Amino acid sequence: MASTQQTASSITCEHRLFVYGTLAPGKPNEHILADVTGEWQTGTVTGTLYEEGWGAAMGYPGIVLNKQSHNSTYDASITSKIDEQDEQVTGQVFTSIALPEHWQRLDEFEGVGYQRVATQVQLANGEIVSAYIYTLAKQM
């Protein structure tokens, strides 16, 4: 039991990815994470979805998080507009001790139109965890 607690306590943002589009189970690009052992949990983040980014053509808009959710890299005119339109975006949190070995591959897959940032995710059980998420790049 101690080793399970130790493993659980060693899980950090580096070991979690919040997905809200094509990488989620049952979605077009689920195969990208299929070779990584891990666990999926439902969660939500606060932000605004835009019909931007390569996923939008497939029906998967990109997200811009509200400024309380992360350290904003958007200028003030964009973040004030975003915060007025905030919504709870439901997705899946993928947790895997092996995830750090795959960040470069995931970054390349998402491409320059997206940036990986840390955010807070509320899980379905009410727990708040830190996770990475791919958001629309700041040149929006």
What's the pLDDT tens digit per position in 84-108?
Answer: 567 899 999 999 999 999 999 999 9
Mean pLDDT of the chain: 85
Confidence of residue 75 (pLDDT cuts 50, 70, 90): very low
What b/e readout covers 73-95, taking b as 16+ CB neighbours within 10 angstroms? Answer: ebeeebbeebbeebeebebbbbb
The answer for residues whose C-beta is within 8 angstroms of residue 61's C-beta and 6 or more apart is 21, 49, 50, 51, 52, 53, 55
Residue that is written with structure tokens 């950090």 in the block: 12
| Maximum CA extent, the chain | 50
More confident residue, 138 or 5: 138
β-sheet bridge partners, residue 132: 17, 118
Per-residue pLDDT at 10 = 80
**Domain layout of the chain by residue ranges:** 12-136
pLDDT at 14: 96
Going from the C-alpha of 89 to that of each of 9, 17, 50, 107, the distances in angstroms are 26, 14, 12, 21
The model carries a pTM of 0.81
Rg for the chain, CA atoms, rounded = 15
pLDDT beyond 70 at 63: yes
pLDDT-based confidence at 4, cuts 50/70/90? very low
The DSSP H or E segment spanning 78 is helix 76-84
Q: What CATH code is assigned to 12-136?
A: 3.10.490.10
DSSP string, 51-77: S-SGGGGGT--EEEE-TTTS---S-HH
pLDDT at 79 over 50: no
In this structure, what token pair is assigned to residue 65? 């998080």
